[in-house]
Every structure is written in C-alpha cells, then in structure tokens.
C-alpha cells in the first residue's frame, strides 16, 4: 500500500489530522492498535476550546457538537467553603464547550467512514521506518499477515505510550517531565450535574472537580493517592468523600447514583522536543502530556494537527518546506503555554504532601487574589478558553 501521510493512532489527534488532510486532497491511512469500540470506550476529556470546535466545523464534523454540546461562559472556584465565579465570557468574549471526547471521536470516525478513507484497526506491531530518508515506511501486522505502507510522511498520533516517539534515537530527543504525587479518581453517573458550570475545589482533604457530559450525565473527580485502587472506592465512599470536599450549597444540590464508569489517572506534565524527526512528526499526547486540571490535552492535540495539516498542505500545494520546517517550533510555543497553565492550576488547587501550612495558605491567598482581581481573573480566563493559534 502507498499513501501520502501514514498516521499512527486513531485518537482525536490522528482522526482530526486525517480529516484535515483529506479536506485538502492529501490522502492518508490510519493504523490503530485497538478496535473502534475500545477507542470509543475510553472516557477522557470533556471540555473543548472554541478553536477545537472551529476545527471540527472546518472538517464538517461540528454539527452534533453545536446541537448537543453545552456552552459555558464561566467556571467556579471553591475554597474556604465558598464558591466564586470567574466570568470567562466577560473577560475574553469567548466560551468553552462541554462535549465528550468519546463524541468527538465518534463524529470523526463516522466522517472518515463516510469519506471512504482507510483505517486499519487492530493493527499489531506498528513500526515507523526510514523517516530520516525521503522514503519512510510503516510496517504492521494485520490478522497475522505482515504488511507495509510506503509514504511521504509519518504522523505519530499514538499517544503517550505509542511507538512513534519510542522509535526516535534517544540522542535526537530531549524530554521534560514532572510527575505529580497524586492521581484523579473519576466517575461518570446518570445524574444531573450538581451545578450548571464546572466547580474546581481546593479543600484540605484534596482537590475535587464537578463536571458533566450533559444535563443528565455528571462527571466528578477526586484527588486520590497514587496507591489507591478503584476497588477501594465503592460508589458510597466516593460520594461521601465528594460531599466532604464541596461547599454546603453544592452538598444540598448533589444528586448521587450508581457510577457507570470509574477510573484512576496519574497526573503528569511531559514535553518531548522537537516534534519533528526528518519525515516523521509527533502530535498530541505522543509529544506532550498535561495534567487534566486545565482541560488542555485534547485541545492541544487539535492545535498541533491544525499546524501540521497547514504545513503539509504548504508542502504539497506550494512545494515549500517552510511549514514543515517550522512545525515543531510553532506547536511547542503553544504547548509550553498550556503546560505552564495546567501546572499552575494543578499547583494551586491540589493538596501536596510536602506543602505544609505555609504552602496551603499561599494557595488560598492566590485563589483569593484571583477572584478579587480583574487582571488575575482575566489571565486565568484567557488561558482557560484557549490561547489563539
Ligand atoms: P490518544 O487519545 O491517547 O490516542 C492515541 C491513539 O493511538 C493508539 N496507539 C497506537 N496505534 C497503533 N500502534 C501503536 N503502537 C499505538 N500506540 C497507541 C491508541 O490506541 C490511541 O487510540 O492521544 P491523542 O489523539 O493525542 O489525544 C489526546 C487526548 O486523548 C488527551 O490529551 C485528553 O484525553 C486529555 N484530557 C483532557 N483533555 C482536554 O482537552 N480536556 C479535558 O477535559 C481533558 N480531560 C483528559 C481529561 C485525560 C484524562 N486522562 C484519563 C488521562 C481527563 C482525564 C481523566
Ligand atoms: C471533564 O469534563 O472531564 C473535565 C473538564 C475539565 C477539566 C478536566 C476534565 O479540567
């Protein structure tokens, strides 16, 4: 098989890149290790920046998001038993949209199918080769048969544990990492959200977040220990702990119910530089990870593939390699700003084992400053709704 761009990974980065390239007549094939159902079953992100929604619109996949997504103009920060609203719309003129990653993925998968583009699911032993030459290849095994794709470029959209970044020789890559000493325990339940907007809480027992997927489906997160296992968190314990961390009004409004999904995610900041190695590019979680506190992971995957698709279009249409030469620097400039923002939100809102009373007091002071200062609130809002591309 031959294609222009071989994309490894059918998560949001790979699927969106495939549609963006296709809309400019650049043919591509996606190789995905898992089955479609497995990919669709991963409950992850829930919050889209306007820029991400605009990219879905650009590839004709935004209609359901506009119909079913919930547009939010603010968030609430809770500390010391009180909630304070940050009016992001007033500060920036922009909003964010609640629309689950599973829905984004489904819409992109359906569009890909309708366009008749090739996606090889359950592709084993996917491996990029010769990307330091003008003739890269990707090998894989499908149903026990060894296969190969010859291509012009490889896009590594295969997430943090993927093969693309791991195929680069260590001397060509520099990584930056911070691992946080806690995780997020998340549950999904068929209950109405406790409040119309998201509530981020700093509490002495640890962080909590109230979010949602729709007006009938809630998503809640609790900061938990990295040693915790979901078996130790039956639903009753989860709800009890959440109530301890919420303000009294939220406790009164909280509707509990059986969880339909429960998982624990570790928190990490990670950046690999550069994001281009000859004729292979990294995009999305394959190149960087942020803690979910700023809701930036999926949105960064979208801005990466926006830059990358533009660069490849320039290469094919204008016979210019300026775009692909500048991809890494351009993408990383935006990535690092989101890394900083997510690290800052995480640092301000979580209980750290070594923070002591001094650290805890500084967190509360920072939150108090934020909700009392127009300048500080605007800075948070500007980053939260997404910095411009
Ligand atoms: P993905 O989604 O990990 O997709 C990578 C795909 O590559 C496949 N793959 C391979 N395929 C072939 N061969 C191999 N060797 C392969 N290895 C891997 C995988 O099966 C998979 O299908 O990466 P992508 O596309 O870069 O997308 C990134 C996002 O998924 C991620 O950043 C977000 O989920 C992060 N995130 C959030 N982001 C937001 O923007 N807003 C949020 O509200 C938000 N909340 C979250 C989150 C992530 C969370 N967890 C679980 C880490 C909340 C949580 C709890
Ligand atoms: C989510 O809805 O899952 C979500 C929203 C905001 C975040 C993280 C996760 O910061």
Kindly write down the DSSP assignment for every residue of 339-364, as one continuous string. HHHHHHHHHHHSPPTT-HHHHHHHHH
Look up residue 133 and give its two tokens.
Answer: 């030459």
In degrees and rounded to multiples of 5, residue 259 shows phi and psi of: -80, 145
Q: Which residues line ligand 1 (CB under 6 A)?
A: 8-14, 31-34, 39, 44-47, 101, 123, 126, 157-159, 162-163, 184, 186, 265, 284-285, 292, 295-299, 301
CB–CB of 17/158 below 8 Å? no
* Closest ligand 1 atom to Cα of 300: 40
Output the 3-class SS for 122-167: CCEEEEEECCCCCCCEEEEEECCEEEEEEEEEEEECCCCCCHHHHC
Q: Is the CB of 218 under 6 A from ligand 2?
A: no
For 101-122, the pLDDT digits (tens) are 999 999 999 999 999 999 999 9
Q: What is the DSSP letter of 105?
A: H
Residues 23-45, mean pLDDT to the nearest whole number: 94
Residue with CA nearest ligand 1 atom 37: 45
CB–CB of 385/95 below 8 Å? yes
Our mutation pick for probing the ligand 1 site, out of 32, 159, 168, 294, counting the most ligand atoms within 8 A of Cβ, is 159
CB–CB of 226/183 below 8 Å? yes
Q: What is the dihedral of CA 291, 33, 46, 110, to 10 degrees?
A: 160
User: What is the pLDDT, as a whole number, of residue 44?
Assistant: 85
* Closest ligand 1 atom to Cα of 140: 13
Q: In the block, which residue shows the tokens 């030469």?
A: 325
Catalytic residues: 72, 200, 292, 296, 384
For 219-247, the pLDDT digits (tens) are 999 999 999 999 999 999 999 999 999 99
Residue with CA nearest ligand 2 atom 2: 46
pTM over 0.95: yes
Nearest Cα to 186, choosing from 240, 233, 227? 233
User: For the chain, how long is the longest CA-to-CA vector?
Assistant: 63
Tell whether omega for the bond before 145 is within 30 degrees of 0, i.e. cis.
no
Q: What is the DSSP letter of 13?
A: H
**DSSP codes, 319-342:** ---HHHHHHHHHHHHHHHHHHHHH
Q: Give all domains of the chain, ordered by start, each with its CATH number.
A: 5-72+97-176+268-346 (3.50.50.60), 180-267+351-385 (3.30.9.10)
Residue with CA nearest ligand 2 atom 4: 46
- Residue 366: CB atoms within 10 Å: 16
CB–CB of 95/73 below 8 Å? yes
Sorting pLDDT into bands at 50, 70 and 90, what band is 42?
A: confident
In degrees and rounded to multiples of 5, residue 339 shows phi and psi of: -65, -45
Using the mean position of ligand 1's atoms as its centre, give its distance from the Cα of residue 285 in Å. 6
Tell me whether strands 96-98 and 137-142 are parallel, antiparallel or unpaired.
unpaired
Q: Is the CB of 186 under 6 A from ligand 2?
A: no
Buried b (16+ CB within 10 A) or exposed e, 162-191: bbbbebbeeeebeeeeeebebbbbbbbbeb
Whether the pLDDT of residue 289 is over 90: the answer is yes
For 233-284, the pLDDT digits (tens) are 999 999 999 999 999 999 999 999 999 999 999 999 999 999 999 999 999 9
User: What value does the mean pLDDT of the chain take?
Assistant: 97
Look up residue 123 and give its two tokens.
Answer: 């592709």
């Amino acid at each position: 098989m031959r294609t222009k761009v071989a994309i490894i990974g059918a998560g949001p980065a790979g699927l969106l890149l495939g549609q963006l390239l296709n809309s400019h007549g650049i043919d591509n094939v996606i190789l995905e290790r898992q089955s479609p159902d497995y990919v669709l079953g991963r409950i992850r992100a829930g919050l889209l920046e306007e820029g991400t929604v605009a990219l879905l619109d650009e590839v004709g996949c935004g209609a359901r998001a506009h119909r079913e997504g919930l547009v939010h103009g603010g968030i609430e920060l809770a500390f010391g038993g009180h909630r304070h609203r940050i009016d992001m719309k007033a500060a920036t003129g922009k909003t964010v949209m609640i629309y689950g990653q599973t829905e984004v993925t489904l819409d992109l998968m359906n569009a890909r199918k309708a366009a008749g583009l090739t996606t090889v699911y359950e592709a084993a032993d996917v491996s990029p080769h010769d990307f330091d030459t003008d003739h890269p290849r990707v090998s894989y095994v499908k149903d026990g048969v060894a296969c190969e794709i010859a291509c012009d470029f490889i896009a590594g959209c295969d997430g943090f544990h993927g093969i693309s970044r791991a195929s680069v020789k260590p001397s060509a890559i520099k990584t930056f990492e911070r691992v946080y000493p806690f995780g997020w325990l998340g549950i999904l339940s068929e209950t109405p959200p406790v409040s119309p907007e998201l509530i981020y809480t700093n509490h002495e027992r640890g962080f909590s977040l109230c979010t949602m997927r729709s007006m009938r489906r809630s998503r809640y997160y609790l900061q938990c220990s990295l040693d915790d296992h979901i078996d130790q968190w039956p639903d009753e314990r989860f709800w009890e702990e959440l109530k301890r961390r919420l303000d009294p009004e939220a406790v009164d409004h909280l509707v509990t119910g059986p969880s339909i999904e429960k998982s624990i995610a570790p928190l990490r900041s990670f950046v690999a530089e550069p994001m281009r190695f000859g004729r292979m590019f990294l995009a999305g979680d394959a190149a960087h990870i942020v803690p979910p506190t700023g809701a930036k992971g999926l949105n960064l995957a979208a801005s990466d593939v926006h830059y990358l698709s533009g660069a490849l279009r320039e290469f094919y249409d204008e016979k210019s390699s300026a775009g692909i030469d500048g991809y890494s620097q351009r993408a990383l400039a935006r990535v690092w700003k989101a890394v900083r923002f997510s690290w800052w939100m995480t640092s301000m809102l979580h209980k750290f084992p070594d923070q002591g009373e001094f650290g805890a007091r500084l967190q509360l002071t920072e939150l108090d400053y934020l909700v009392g200062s127009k300048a500080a609130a605007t800075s948070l809002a500007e980053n939260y709704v997404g910095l411009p591309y």
